[in-house]
Amino acid sequence: MTDATILSATDGAITTITLHRPDALNALTPPMLRSLEAALQRAADDDAVSVVVLTGEGRAFSAGVDLKALASAGVSDGDVSTELNDAARAVTTLLSTMPKVAIAKVNGFCFTGALELALACDLVVCAEEAKLGDTHAKFGLRPTWGMSQRLITLVGVARARELSYTARTFTGAEAAAIGLAASAVPAAELDDHVSALAASIAENSAGSIAAYKDLYAAALDRGLTDGLDYEATTSYRIADAGDRVSGFGS
């Protein structure tokens, strides 16, 4: 499935969705975010898909919100427009809740709103040379797509404050070192690395993975005591459990 700004291709159980405005460093606009939501929803609804890889074309994952779109929509007290917020939150909600593993393949520049999209994924994998940053403060903006809540769960409060308050750029290698990314590899190896990672996930039970995704979300939302109760009392449909267990060792 293709359109002007979003490319989507499925190979077996893996769907790759590519932000495709390379001449604009894949900068985000409301129509582009709505197209991204539609592509993600198709993957979420496809029972044959278990992994979704989100990446960008060219030199960037995404440079963040298109500043022309931002200027056109307007900013009030550092908050971007309702149009941008609604479109972006629909995307981050899908990435974080759909019963598929979402992998952000950060191939290049990844700033601010784009970083918020990446943080909504289950795993972030970076090129070591990639450049990332939370630059809200450089532009007099405040986060509205999840940065303040998700960043601290990955890197801790002190590091999150330092990154946001300074608005500094950091590399993909540092992102992995501080726990924001699951791994970082040289740019030339990124495609093969992510392909192997996605394939290793897709080999496992899609039902089990969906259950894990929900349970890890509950752990973050509920704390240990309520999370343990949720794990013990929540049921999931995992259709291949019997076949996988009976086939073990055969």
pLDDT at position 127 over 50: yes
- What is the pTM (predicted TM-score) of this model? 0.93
Kindly tell me the number of DSSP H helices and DSSP E strands found in the chain.
11, 10
Share of the chain above pLDDT 90, in %: 81
As a CATH number, domain 6-202 is 3.90.226.10
Output the pLDDT for position 239: 85
pLDDT in tens, 202-222: 999 999 999 999 999 999 999
> What angle, rounded to 10 degrees, do the helices at 206-222 and 224-233 form?
150
- What is the pLDDT, as a whole number, of residue 88? 95
Question: Can you give the residue ranges of every domain in the chain?
Answer: 6-202, 206-240
Residue 142 CB contacts under 8 Å (≥ 6 apart), including other chains:
77, 78, 79, 136
